[in-house]
Structure 1
């Protein structure tokens, strides 16, 4: 694995983007949801894509030479309700994949859903009693939301959650971290990058792939598209597998508009 370096601002890579797109026959644009299309909010239930991002996704989805996908940690049914238009949806960090009218679910994740449900119930009765700590069972994965939890008790929630996952998840479930969340899922080598690779496999070899995301869980997807394609990290300039960055969901819209206008015009010139 290559050493990670700070991504450069999107605007500084326009010439490189132009060259890559000009040599391509198709674009694949994969997009995270929370923190990318939608601003991060205190209550995850209130999250929604910005109007500019909704419009940009709809414009891109109407282009025959562009394939659009939303790849989210949210459950598939949840993210489908929050953004219209993309050709493909991947939920639960790629464990659910909907394309061409069919839904594929990772069989190991399906088989461990009952164990996950029992663990989420246990977490609900323990750390779920901490003020503003929310336990979300997404059927194939679970999330412990810490964003609104008082900072003084967050270490307790993290320790207690890890102890319970270790004790009751056994070898079947594992814990990972994100931005003020703890994620519980099947202990298998699978992530957003695997979903992106499955999507890429259906497209022509001359496709340029772009993945836009903001969190630790997006790093595997950045690695999947780089270096032949482009990972775009939303946020600061911390080292990342993505080579490019933008600052916020508002900047994501500008980026998508670039691909929807200039990018589409450049394809196969």
Structure 2
């Protein structure tokens, strides 16, 4: 068996309409999985200020009220954080899928639960070490930790990266790993689990003829794109970098356009 093809730049969404319509027409239902930051909410310098656009809030509410559609939010934020920023969906996954809320229950990956105390200690060390760096912020999400440097002066960014790598190597040992994102560094348990695994767990509860759609904007969404493509649809928000998603849109405003279409015209295509 040959190696899988390398990801290529996703095509603009408008070029994918025939395929999208055909995929939905062959389905009996739709599972829509949505990232939060950069997808439903614009990226902002202060993560605490991030909120979904009003049009995305309205579009998600329409999807939630549509019986043929199941809506899930899958975020790198802590579960409690993302749930309070957008109400309505029946399913939420936080910390890149390490936390999952559905059917009134919350499940936590057992390995992540075991390492929560280590993450807390690591975040405390990072806070002290990075305190002299202007506008650098360390976020303890209980199961993972994030170093935000979007607002850090460019000259200081290499220092943030170096200190973060050094501290995670020293205090995380072989049990924690560091991964990049959009002007962030995230640390969490060293295990093979991500948003794509959360999508697969959620999709397993849906009927077999369900079309799965995932919309996201960051490298942490790539495993979810791989989980849904090619039978479903992955939509990358942002530039035309190589991605496992097959379609792309420019911004959260375009996401609102697509979700609005899905909740009106798109659902009418279901067989």
TM-score normalised by length of structure 2: 0.98
Match of 2:34 among 31, 36, 48: 31
Does structure 1 residue 201 correspond to structure 2 residue 204? yes
Match of 1:107 among 107, 110, 114: 110
Separation of aligned partners in 2, 1:186 and 1:207: 32
- 2:150 aligned partner: 147
Separation of aligned partners in 1, 2:239 and 2:128: 36
Separation of aligned partners in 1, 2:164 and 2:14: 41
In the alignment, structure 1 segments of 5+ residues that lack a partner are none
Match of 2:213 among 210, 227, 244: 210
Separation of aligned partners in 2, 1:62 and 1:156: 48
8 Å Cα contact 1:53/1:252 also seen in 2:
yes
Does structure 1 residue 130 correspond to structure 2 residue 119? no
Provide runs of 4+ in structure 1 moved above 6 Å. Answer: none
Separation of aligned partners in 1, 2:117 and 2:261: 44
Separation of aligned partners in 2, 1:2 and 1:113: 37
CA deviation profile, 1:204-236 (whole Å, cap 9, x unmatched): 110100000000000000000000000000001
Shift in Å, 1:263:
1.1
Shift in Å, 1:86:
1.0
- 1:262 aligned partner: 265
Within 5 A, what are the aligned runs for 1:223-262?
Answer: 223-262=226-265
Stretch moving more, 86-95 or 126-135? 126-135
TM-score normalised by length of structure 1: 0.99
Q: CA RMSD in A?
A: 0.6
Match of 1:51 among 54, 60, 66: 54
